[in-house]
């Protein structure tokens, strides 16, 4: 085989790795461990695209590298397979979600194996396997036993068409992310988890982690810890309609209480119905219905115009007894704080915009700006504020809070933006709750020995016509008894998809254990995860939820680490190519060309597969239209999804892996360009031609000792690739290997001695080619079991270096300076340089600045 033929090489070595269990992680507690984890995928029907492969390639490189460095590596893979997409497919086609899931998993697994990823498939998990979700239910019971799971009536995103509650991130512009169906806000009975009880620890323990600072900040902002005061506002008796309740607000600025000129309640606030006047009832009801059709993101968006309706009721400001109006506005959320705010338009931007829109009073209470023109949010002496006049913000906050506590009108408190986790869905394809409901309205857990509580078999997965979840159809399954033998009914909600992904990293440790979710000794050995790689789309919720569950398990004595994921890296998105077609006139885009002919391509894209090329210029084969190359998120609708199968068929898995890493730094967004994959393929072909011939090794290979220059280049490459692989700088590691290959091609003969260590460097990146070449070099198959090469620091010591020479700060020359030269010797060499001497001619040297290894600067006049 004189040519590089990956379609022959790659299946051979994939079979070898599988037969020899090369990627198996062993519970060898004496050996140093390294746990590297991918965010496991949802196995969709469309299979993998090349964007998915980026993170998987990165973790595979690290796994293979760490094995060669002597670590016991755990590198597992599994499937986050419960959830709405499979259920919707079942509703549309009548195919059971279990059947769809199995088919999709098989496709994903085939593609991952074809890429040569070194997963330990003996540890594969699937969240829909009863043997797995038995322990998801078991962990839920631990939460339930500790009072961290409860039922509440809460406002939710309800999609009537899908028949289920949606998380905030599943709602876009008031519609479901899947299907684009209208979503409304309505109160419903839901299971909740008390994640708020762990808010302080979730914040504080971020300091223990080796995470990017932006990722920690995203978690901090989501948790949103605020120090302030709770304040009680009494209702004005004349407009309270007999209601005696106070309105409690939380504020971070109690010092501005004297400037509170109105109050705002969330549309869902319980008091709204009680205090709204007859004159305002219709307007308030209409407004509440409009607010119910908006997502929380829409309601709180700072850029949107402020809307609201006066309730007709008033409250009493506790610090000055002023009578202030109570409004309803959708920018206040029932689930955040108390669902009510005091509005200080003089010193809050949002309140100022609202007051300006509706002609409400704006009062200055902190001096420093013109509140008639804009709110002043800075520090300054207080005015119009009674007992705190003249004080700055911090002093004023302390004094007014103490006064409120003394009068029984409020208290210092800490609030969090984080809310308890809404933990139930009205779906079939999810984990059943191990809970039964008694006839008296109470509930209890089923015994652990009855786990797993399996999903019943259903043919119809739609919600029932009366608004009940699909499980309500399983009449016999619903029937149960409580611990006293009394009749009871099973819970009909199921857990959200988040449940299975909260703890999967722990099940990988001991996936076949039927007696416990994991073995204690194995958990102690493998945890915590050393490297976790995944997309930024999971930067907040998945990580927050997993951290919360882990801390509960830690409190239960079931895990030994406070945090699950020590180091996290978010890979950048791989953008696909799309093409826009247009007509130009004088260099300006003026409209579409051949609209009738290309109507199916409107509004603006041409599928990437339909594009041909004239040199560097793309065109469409069916008409003379100009195309503009775009890069954007890969999506089937854009026609820019690239299936890894097609790339492998043309170039091989190693080329795909190498290109994924060579595109740019791992964390950065980068465009996929199919015309560039051939470049790394040619690099691998050059390695093949350098080493291999039809039946063995190239005739160019020599047994003569390598010259020092080649040894220096080799050891420089070993150091660079090692350090860059450790720091996940894969693109520069590949560049270093390319430079070394260029060096070898310049030689008349290639010394054999430099080839094995170089192929070892290549192995994590292009493992199939490396294994084949390694075998041809006469080495024992299984390259990643060989010790990683070390560089010789002595070889890398330079006798001299290029020293920049300046005169008055301007570069005038470079000299070859001995590494041991002192300032005097360097200065003497520099003055012999013709250009330096010319610029020093006729001048007096006043000072010489010498930084060894970097610069020599003459200060002269």
What does the H/E/C string look like for 804-846?
EEEECCEEEEEEEEECCCCHHHHHHHHHCCHHHHHHHCCCCEE
Q: What is the pLDDT of residue 590?
A: 40
What's the pLDDT at 9?
A: 95
List the beta bridge partners of residue 697. Answer: 692
- Nearest CA to 789 out of 821, 763, 822, 809 is that of 763
User: Which residues of the chain form CATH 3.10.20.590?
Assistant: 798-860
Cβ pair 622, 597 in contact under 8 A: yes
Decide which of 1.20.1560.10, 3.40.190.290, 3.60.21.10, 3.10.20.590 is the CATH code for 798-860. Answer: 3.10.20.590
Q: List the one residue out of 625, 517, 529, 412 whose CA is nearest residue 131.
A: 517
pTM of the model: 0.84
List, as own/partner pairs, every contact residues 829-837 make where C-beta atoms lie below 8 angstroms and the sequence separation is at least 24, other chains included.
830/803, 830/805, 830/856, 830/858, 833/805, 836/805, 836/807, 836/812
Inter-axis angle of helices 677-691 and 644-651, to 10 degrees? 40
CB-CB contact of 154 with 188 (8 Å)? yes
pLDDT at 594: 38
Say what the pLDDT of residue 142 is: 98
Which pLDDT score, from 0 to 100, does residue 442 have?
95
Distance CA 684, CA 664 (A): 18
State which H helix or E strand residue 42 sits in.
Answer: none
Omega of the bond leading into 528 within 30 degrees of 0 (cis): yes
**Residue 480 and residue 432 in contact, taking contact as beta carbons nearer than 8 Å:** no
Q: Which CATH architecture has domain 224-416?
A: Alpha-Beta Complex (3.90)
Tokens of 414: 């800490």
**3-state SS assignment for residue 579:** strand
Q: Which residues are annotated as a binding site for ATP?
A: 636
Joined together, the tokens standing for residue 429 give: 């394809």
Note the pLDDT tens digit of each residue in 48-69.
Answer: 888 889 999 999 999 999 999 9
Q: What is the pLDDT of residue 352?
A: 95
Binding residues: 636
The CATH class, in words, for 670-795 is mainly alpha
Which residue's entry shows tokens 């291999």?
692
CB 35 within 8 A of CB 82: no
Ranges of the chain whose pLDDT falls below 50: 583-585, 588-605
How many of the other CB atoms lie within 10 Å of CB of 850?
Answer: 16
Instruction: Outline which parts of the chain fall under CATH 1.10.730.10.
Output: 670-795
Question: Which of 310, 317, 315, 328 lies closest to 239 in space, CA to CA?
Answer: 315
Q: What dihedral angle (degrees, nearest 10) is formed by the CA atoms of 151, 153, 154, 158?
A: 100
CA distance 191 to 432: 12
**Which ranges in the chain are annotated with CATH 3.90.740.10?**
224-416
DSSP 181: -
């Amino acid at each position: 085989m004189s040519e590089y033929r990956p379609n022959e090489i790659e299946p051979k070595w994939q079979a070898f790795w599988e037969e020899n269990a090369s990627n198996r992680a062993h519970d060898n507690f004496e050996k140093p461990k390294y746990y590297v984890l991918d965010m496991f995928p949802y196995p969709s029907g469309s299979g993998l695209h090349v964007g998915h492969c980026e993170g998987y390639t990165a973790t595979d490189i690290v796994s293979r590298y760490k094995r060669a460095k002597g670590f016991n590596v755990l590198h597992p893979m599994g499937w986050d397979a419960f959830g709405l997409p499979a259920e919707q497919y079942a509703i549309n086609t009548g195919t059971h979600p279990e059947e769809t899931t199995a088919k999709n998993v098989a496709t994903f697994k085939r593609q991952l194996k074809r890429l040569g990823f070194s997963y330990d498939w003996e540890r594969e998990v699937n969240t829909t396997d009863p043997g797995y979700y038995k322990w998801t239910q078991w962990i839920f019971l631990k939460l339930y036993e500790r009072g961290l799971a409860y039922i509440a009536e809460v406002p939710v995103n309800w999609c009537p068409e899908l028949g289920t509650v949606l998380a905030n991130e599943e709602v876009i512009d008031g519609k479901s992310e899947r299907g684009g169906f209208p979503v409304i806000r309505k109160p419903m009975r839901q299971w909740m988890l008390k994640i708020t009880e762990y808010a302080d620890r979730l914040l504080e323990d971020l300091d223990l982690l080796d995470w990017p600072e932006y990722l920690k900040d995203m978690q901090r902002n989501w948790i949103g810890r605020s120090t302030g005061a709770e304040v009680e506002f009494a209702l004005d008796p004349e407009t309270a309609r007999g209601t005696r309740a106070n309105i409690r607000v939380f504020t971070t600025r109690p010092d501005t209480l004297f400037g509170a000129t109105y109050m705002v309640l969330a549309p869902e606030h319980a008091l709204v119905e009680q205090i709204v006047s007859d004159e305002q009832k219709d307007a308030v009801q209409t407004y509440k219905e409009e607010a119910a059709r908006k997502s929380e993101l829409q309601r709180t968006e700072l850029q949107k115009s402020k809307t609201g309706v006066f309730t007709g009721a008033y409250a009493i400001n506790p610090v000055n007894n002023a009578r202030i109006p109570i409004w309803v506005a959708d920018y206040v959320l029932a689930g955040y704080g108390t669902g009510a705010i005091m509005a200080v338009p003089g010193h809050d931007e949002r309140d100022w915009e609202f007051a300006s829109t509706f002609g409400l009073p704006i009062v200055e209470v902190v001096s420093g700006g013109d509140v008639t023109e804009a709110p002043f949010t800075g520090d300054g002496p207080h005015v119009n504020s009674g007992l705190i006049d003249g004080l700055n913000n911090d002093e004023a906050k302390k004094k007014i809070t103490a006064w409120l506590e003394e009068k029984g009108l409020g208290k210092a408190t800490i609030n969090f933006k984080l809310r308890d986790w809404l933990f139930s869905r009205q779906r079939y394809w999810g984990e059943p709750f191990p809970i039964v409901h008694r006839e008296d309205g109470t509930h209890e857990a089923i015994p652990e020995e009855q786990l797993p509580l399996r999903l019943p078999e259903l043919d119809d997965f739609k919600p029932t016509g009366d608004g009940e979840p699909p499980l309500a159809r399983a009449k016999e399954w619903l029937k149960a008894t409580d611990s006293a033998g009394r009749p009871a009914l099973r819970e009909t909600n199921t857990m959200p998809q988040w449940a299975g992904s909260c703890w999967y990293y722990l099940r990988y440790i001991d996936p076949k254990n039927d007696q416990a979710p994991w073995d204690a000794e194995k958990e102690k050995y493998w945890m915590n995860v050393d490297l976790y790689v995944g997309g930024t789309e999971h930067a907040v919720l998945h990580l927050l939820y997993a951290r919360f569950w882990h801390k509960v398990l830690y409190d239960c004595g079931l895990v030994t680490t406070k945090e699950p994921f020590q180091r996290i890296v978010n890979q950048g998105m791989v953008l696909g190519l799309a093409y826009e077609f247009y007509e130009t006139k004088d260099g300006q885009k003026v409209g579409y060309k051949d609209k009738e002919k290309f109507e199916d391509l409107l509004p603006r894209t041409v599928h990437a597969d339909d594009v041909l090329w004239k040199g560097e210029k793309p065109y469409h084969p069916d008409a003379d239209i100009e195309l503009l190359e775009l890069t954007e998120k890969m999506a089937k609708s854009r026609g820019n999804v690239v299936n890894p199968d097609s790339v492998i068929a043309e170039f091989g898995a190693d080329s795909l892996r190498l290109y994924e890493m060579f595109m740019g730094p791992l964390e950065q967004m980068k465009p996929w360009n199919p015309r560039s994959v051939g470049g790394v393929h040619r690099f691998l072909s050059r390695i093949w031609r350098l080493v291999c011939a039809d039946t063995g090794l190239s005739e160019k290979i020599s047994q003569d000792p390598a010259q020092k220059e080649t040894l220096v280049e080799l050891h420089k490459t070993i150091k660079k690739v090692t350090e860059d692989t450790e720091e996940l700088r894969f693109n520069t590691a590949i560049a270093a290997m390319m430079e070394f290959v260029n060096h070898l091609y310049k030689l008349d003969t290639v010394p054999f001695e430099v080839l094995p260590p170089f192929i070892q460097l290549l192995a994590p990146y292009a493992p199939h080619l490396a294994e084949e070449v390694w075998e041809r070099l006469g080495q024992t198959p299984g390259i990643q079991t060989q010790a990683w090469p070390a560089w010789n620091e002595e070889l890398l010591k330079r006798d001299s270096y290029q020293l920049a020479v300046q005169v008055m700060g301007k570069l005038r020359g470079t000299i070859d300076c001995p590494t041991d030269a002192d300032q005097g010797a360097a200065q003497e060499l520099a003055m012999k340089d013709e250009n330096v001497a010319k610029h020093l001619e006729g001048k007096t040297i006043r000072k010489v600045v010498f930084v060894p290894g970097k610069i020599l600067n003459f200060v002269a006049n």
